[in-house]
Structure 1
Amino acid sequence: MTDISNPDFARINMIKQQIRTWSVTDDDVIGALSAVRREDFVPPAEKPLAFADLRIPLLQPTEEALQHGQCMLEPKIEARILQDLQLKPSDKVLEVGAGSGYMAALLATRAQRVITLELNPQLVEMARANLQKAGITNVEVRKADGAKGLAGEGPFDAIVLSGSVAEVPAALLSQLKIGGRLFAAVGFEPMMRATLITRTGESTYTTTEPWDLVAPRLANFPEPSRFHF
């Protein structure tokens, strides 16, 4: 539990004890985590958990929200994603899975424009309200099926899947600019791979899998069988 009477102290501790110890060393990323008030993106009932090293449910009932991915990811995972993407101030970013708007807010500190897609109408409104209250003006929250991406508005410099998938659809990869990067947690529980795919040409991509994680499933993405005969 966090002493929310002193959120700045709790934020410093989160960065020192969770973020830096998880190989996040980029000063710009640390600056974003310091600047964006995580506690303002957490539902009131969950504020004592704002800086804890766990997923935070965004809707009620909490168990159902966690099961269906209606939650904030652990702070260290969000920080590591932001570091791996190596965003530039001119970048246009697409996020799939807005949640409370916190990850979009972090992305917005590093990029020119962020479009974030969310299926759940309650979360769409929550994310919009949180971002507006935080004074973040370069994020647009849309109610949409992120599994299809936004073909009419690409290409994007970066695409972030704020949840896990069994595999990354080719339709999403095709919406990257050449040189663009896509981040996703790929695989099945109990262990998934952080997957960073870079588009190197019209039909060529390079893939790295730099670390392990577990993240809840994003809705409507293809779910092929785990078993091969």
Structure 2
Amino acid sequence: MALDKHPHVLGFGMASARSRARLISRLEQLGIQDDRVLEAMNRVPRHMFVDEAMTSRAYDDTALPIGYGQTISQPYIVAQMTSLLLADGEPANVLEIGTGSGYQAAVLAELIDAVYTVERVKPLYELARRRFAELGYRNIRVREAREDILGLPAYGPFDVILVTAGAEQLPTSLYEQMADGGRMIVPVAVPGGGQRLVVVRRQGSSFAREDLDPVSFVPLIEGND
């Protein structure tokens, strides 16, 4: 489908389409090979998820500030995490911890039937909700995070849980929200500093951890559960 005909990008000029195409080419050069991910990221108008002052940099492969000490993730990281999410087949539902700007959820919504996302910072939650409505995403349910609970246990279990903030340690309180056979993808602090992307797989009552690439995310606020 042509970019200027896609329902989520109607009304935007070819400048953003060309910028988006350059970004997709960059992601391919960096090793993103899943065509489903590349096509989804090509469709999502990232300039709609950043402040107006940042729109000229919206398609740079870099994280950008969105206020409240938060960032919109680097596109390569979004592509990498989305590729991991699809690696074992397309999940029926996904829970994202940390809506932020809403960009990652929008990319997921291009691929997944049911996307649930929670955000603790109220102004970001409200802004993301408006963006999803304006862009026509009907398969995203965004919720304001509760102070006492991490995740959305009432809506689970989830085939994949995607955590888009750095945890000091594995958030085991999310384990029971994982479906049997499901996965959690989460950045976790490592000894000596920094973070590493971790995939946790559930089989019955067993949880297997796999450590992947170094990453850098804003801290996860887990609340008082």
- 1:75 and 2:84 matched: no
Cα deviation, residue 149, structure 1:
1.4
| Count of residues in Structure 1 that have an aligned counterpart in Structure 2 | 209
TM-score by length of 1: 0.84
State how 1:124-143 maps to structure 2 within 5 Å: 124-143=125-144
In structure 2, give the amino acid aligned to 1:220: E
- 1:38 and 2:46 matched: yes
CA distance in 1, matches of 2:112, 2:98: 18
Give the corresponding residue for 1:167: 169
Cα deviation, residue 190, structure 1:
4.8
Give the corresponding residue for 2:97: 96
Give the corresponding residue for 2:121: 120
Give the corresponding residue for 2:196: 193
- 1:28 and 2:29 matched: no
SS state at 1:53 partner? coil
SS state at 2:166 partner? strand
RMSD: 2.0
Give the corresponding residue for 1:16: 25
SS state at 1:6 partner? helix
- Render the CA deviation track for 1:83-117: whole Å, top value 9, x for unaligned: 00117555111111111111111111111111110
**Would you say the 8 A contact 1:121–1:143 is kept in 2?**
yes
Cα deviation, residue 221, structure 1:
5.9
**Would you say the 8 A contact 2:91–2:160 is kept in 1?**
no
- Render the CA deviation track for 1:38-76: whole Å, top value 9, x for unaligned: 1111111111120122221112xxxxx4xx3x2101010
Give the corresponding residue for 1:225: none
CA distance in 2, matches of 1:186, 1:90: 23
In structure 1, give the amino acid aligned to 2:25: K
CA distance in 2, matches of 1:210, 1:71: 22
Cα deviation, residue 210, structure 1:
2.3
**Would you say the 8 A contact 2:199–2:210 is kept in 1?**
yes
- Render the CA deviation track for 1:148-207: whole Å, top value 9, x for unaligned: 212222100111111110112222011100111111111158531111111122x11222
Cα deviation, residue 220, structure 1:
2.7
**Would you say the 8 A contact 1:89–1:112 is kept in 2?**
no
* Structure 2 residues not aligned, in runs of 5+: 1-12
Cα deviation, residue 23, structure 1:
2.1
Q: Which runs of at least 4 in structure 1 moved beyond 4 Å after TM superposition?
A: 87-90
**Would you say the 8 A contact 2:182–2:201 is kept in 1?**
yes
Q: Mark the CA change 1:220 to 1:89 in structure 2 (over 3 Å): closer, same or farther.
A: closer
- 1:49 and 2:51 matched: no
Match of 1:177 among 176, 179, 182: 179
* Structure 1 residues not aligned, in runs of 5+: 60-64, 223-229
CA distance in 2, matches of 1:219, 1:90: 26
SS state at 2:170 partner? coil
SS state at 1:164 partner? coil
- Render the CA deviation track for 1:1-49: whole Å, top value 9, x for unaligned: xxx97111111111112x1233210010001011111111111111112
Identity of aligned residues (%): 30
